[in-house]
Structure 1
């Protein structure tokens, strides 16, 4: 694997991105890591003789900020670090690129610089929700307004990705997020998508999944539009933090027995905290573009960057080909 890293992407860039990349490089000597950014800014976070042999520095211009309109900013800044990272994938000099910067800029750079898979009109952000049995959610925010066929494409892409990511021997079970289990429930989008999903070959479609059932292991893949998916993702993350905070408050504000109970439970609570910590389960894959693109959390630390890059390195370089083949098989179009 060869991974391009947008060194300027994220709230803590480039310091944490550089540190995380160096750590990932030491742990994955067979992978090449291409740090993309202005050399003058990267050198500040590199000590002499520190650069591993499998890390390359790639010169670029500045960053696309959160406040800028992504497509317009990329057209005016073709040498921005996220654009250069995408161009490396387009030219075949990298197999994947990672950015913890503006999600909109990363999606726009992928679409403008790499292009879409054949048969896929819009991309989707696929995010793992770390329940007891993890579930893949898409779209988590790339395509706000979807057509029914877009949700079918998301289901196909998500099914292939989940089989690989979760090591599912019997295939992925796909559900459509809706306000009821019955096929006739929901909006025009969900009703039409339900009918299309049910008739799509090579897809294990279970039907509608209500919000209360998202975390109970009903499905391996949950499909929805980007607006709903982003709300679901942010709600799940916020609920996890709030729940852990309530447990912590109950333990620390109680009497001696509460504190004793807390001491007994602390190891288990720590493992639950680690399970839902975004720094541990990595970034989100942008599916539907002609290359592997991974989006990290904006506040990623070096640990989070290292975990994401290690995950990309372990995923291998054939994911894009597998996704294109699955789309072709379901649509009847040549891959």
Structure 2
């Protein structure tokens, strides 16, 4: 099992990335890690170089680079070289904490999509309140600004397969994000998508889901278009940050009794913070490509990197992408006969 790592992507690269890889090596000692980046910057954080392949490059894609231009012009960038390794069969998967748009472009133009899938979707596992071990797979988080109903059907199939084979959810409940629970509600896109999801025999489709019920565990997979998904994700993140900040401010301004209470509630507050952190489930998967391409948050720490590698390992171990390629190939043959 070989994983290509963009060691220079992210706010705290290469330190956080390499420290996370070192943690993952203890958990998965047989994985070969291919580290793409500046050799001198990477080496100080390598505590174990077994099954480590270091590929030096001085070039990297910055967070403010225009994604498609950066992929085309920076041929020796760490992210580009990692993607090329996957395309050429030198690595089985890749991940990066760098420029999201550039990684989407690298995945689409270098790694390549499954032929029958017109638009890959960006998917992450979000938390469910009150159940730390649970979560739901949310797709599309922003890989596409505009979608067709057929795209959302593909997203549902991809995410449902992931929920079952990577997260171990039997017959995952698939819901369509909408502004009402009734089948007649929503835009032209959601109405047409509802009809497709309802007719797909391989899906356990449970109908529409309102945004207020997202974090309650009402569904195992939630499907939406990329524009809506990105807006919902950022609104959820912003709300969580605002609540945390407001709680902290209230405690600091509540006098001695409030501060004493905060000391007593320290473990509970830490538990709440961890519950809001969806990085423990791994990174965001660009789903619909010929190999796993996973994005971690730019400010990710070593533990989140380790969780992402655990996620990639499970995807490769369960042959998720290769099974989906076979599924879509068989589906296209049946459709051509019809």
Normalised TM-score (structure 1): 0.91
What SS class does the counterpart of residue 127 from structure 1 fall into?
strand
Which consecutive residues of structure 2, in runs of 5 or more, have no partner in the other structure? none
Partner residue, 2:285: 285
Q: CA deviation at 1:20?
A: 2.0
Partner residue, 1:271: 271
Aligned partner (choices 113, 117, 120) of residue 120 of structure 1 = 117
Normalised TM-score (structure 2): 0.90
CA distance in 2, matches of 1:88, 1:32: 13
Q: Aligned pair 1:93/2:90, yes or no?
A: yes
Partner residue, 1:130: 127
CA distance in 1, matches of 2:45, 2:17: 18
CA distance in 1, matches of 2:169, 2:285: 18
Pick closer, same or farther for the CA change 1:34–1:214 going to 2, 3 Å: same
CA distance in 1, matches of 2:289, 2:27: 28
Q: RMSD of the alignment, in Å?
A: 2.1
Asked whether the equivalents of residues 177 and 211 of structure 1 are also in contact (C-alpha less than 8 Å), the reply is yes
CA distance in 2, matches of 1:98, 1:292: 8
Asked whether the equivalents of residues 39 and 57 of structure 2 are also in contact (C-alpha less than 8 Å), the reply is no
What SS class does the counterpart of residue 52 from structure 1 fall into?
coil
Q: How does 1:163-242 map to 2 (within 5 A)?
A: 163-169=164-170, 171-242=171-242
Asked whether the equivalents of residues 153 and 327 of structure 1 are also in contact (C-alpha less than 8 Å), the reply is no
Asked whether the equivalents of residues 126 and 286 of structure 1 are also in contact (C-alpha less than 8 Å), the reply is yes
CA distance in 1, matches of 2:315, 2:245: 34
Partner residue, 1:66: 63
Of the structure 1 ranges 11-20 and 281-290, higher mean CA displacement relative to structure 2 is found in 11-20
Q: CA deviation at 1:321?
A: 1.4
What SS class does the counterpart of residue 218 from structure 1 fall into?
coil
Pick closer, same or farther for the CA change 1:43–1:202 going to 2, 3 Å: same
CA distance in 2, matches of 1:106, 1:195: 32
CA distance in 1, matches of 2:173, 2:46: 49
CA distance in 2, matches of 1:236, 1:155: 21
Pick closer, same or farther for the CA change 1:297–1:323 going to 2, 3 Å: same
Which consecutive residues of structure 1, in runs of 5 or more, have no partner in the other structure? none
Partner residue, 1:156: 157
Asked whether the equivalents of residues 39 and 55 of structure 2 are also in contact (C-alpha less than 8 Å), the reply is no
CA deviation map 1:276-301 (0-9, x unaligned): 22443321111000000100101122
Pick closer, same or farther for the CA change 1:52–1:27 going to 2, 3 Å: farther
Pick closer, same or farther for the CA change 1:243–1:163 going to 2, 3 Å: same
Q: Aligned pair 1:139/2:136, yes or no?
A: no
Partner residue, 1:16: 16
Partner residue, 1:54: 51
Of the structure 1 ranges 108-117 and 307-316, higher mean CA displacement relative to structure 2 is found in 307-316
